[in-house]
Structure 1
């Protein structure tokens, strides 16, 4: 597997929203691996498949159980991210996270059936990114459409990637939007 510089875990609990208590507290978690970009220094690589197959599944297998353990509850919403250092291409991150060998680890662990929403972005160390989350079995459930803001102060370096998974144990705190009607889909 590709070289991992660090793994960052963030857990957030919201106890109050809109001036009202949230009980139980709304819990979200993210686990991010800061890795060496497997294509760093190679120039334009036409076929990314060997690097994706060599690293994508292992990254999914590493991150999926960690984010669920950090969440400490069954996941009701989930998402993923690939943040590329400035020397890399968006396609490098996209290739790793939009690979069933990566995402299926999380889907199986979370008993999920929907596609994982994603963010891909290139930027310098300390870039802020938002991981979108959707319900694990029904992406039309609006209460679970939310995002988690993440920032790792010293990552990604120019030749690194941040590969992250995020999960929520519930929908947005104090959500009160009506369910989608058939004409809104």
Structure 2
């Protein structure tokens, strides 16, 4: 299937979850976590491992960035409601891991996602190769304060019939708030911890 842009976007899948109870108690800030996944034809199949991937990246990655950020924002209450983000890719078995990386690790995707979500942090990520239905754990952290541990969380995503061998699943994840009952401090306020100050604990 080819869309209006000439790209093989076969389907887009949205998934969300809201944790209402954790250890028997409601979170102080119930957060909705979600993923938006685009299943695309791998444009580099049959190429060589030295081929330049840039032309297809420039054409496809911005389209994916726009579609996936718009879908998440529309379902999570707008850009201002989104506090954490992450990205991922699963490459079908006929492709290279680099093919997935090309679609999520360049400025034609990452920079645009930050801009559309009004974020500043580097976007944490995961990538893998797998069969249709493979699951992938997508890491998330705060879009403007990556050192804020409250927003270190994950969401697991899968598309039941993708990636086919010649496809790539490109995923964008987001959350409207922190982990349930987060209470382990913040990297910016941590004490200085070194092995020689802990003595017997690490001996």
Q: Per the shorter chain, which TM-score range? A: over 0.9
- How far the C-alpha of 1:41 sits from its partner, in A, is 3.0
Considering only aligned residues, what root-mean-square deviation do their CA atoms show, in Å? 1.5
Q: Which has the higher strand share?
A: 1
Moved over 4 A (4+): none
Gaps of 5+ in 1: none
- How far the C-alpha of 1:25 sits from its partner, in A, is 2.6
Aligned with 1:5 (options 10, 15, 23): 10
* DSSP 3-state at the match of 1:16: coil
Equivalent residues, number: 184
Aligned mates of 1:133, 1:98 — CA distance in 2: 15
TM-score, structure 2 normalization:
0.86
Gaps of 5+ in 2: 194-203
Alignment of 1:56 with 2:65, yes or no, is: no
Aligned mates of 1:169, 1:72 — CA distance in 2: 9
Aligned mates of 1:57, 1:102 — CA distance in 2: 6
Pairing of 1:111-150 with structure 2 (within 5 A): 111-150=118-157
Q: Which residue of 2 aligns with 1:94?
A: 101
TM-score, structure 1 normalization:
0.93
Aligned mates of 2:117, 2:55 — CA distance in 1: 27
* DSSP 3-state at the match of 1:131: strand
- How far the C-alpha of 1:67 sits from its partner, in A, is 1.2
Aligned mates of 1:119, 1:160 — CA distance in 2: 17
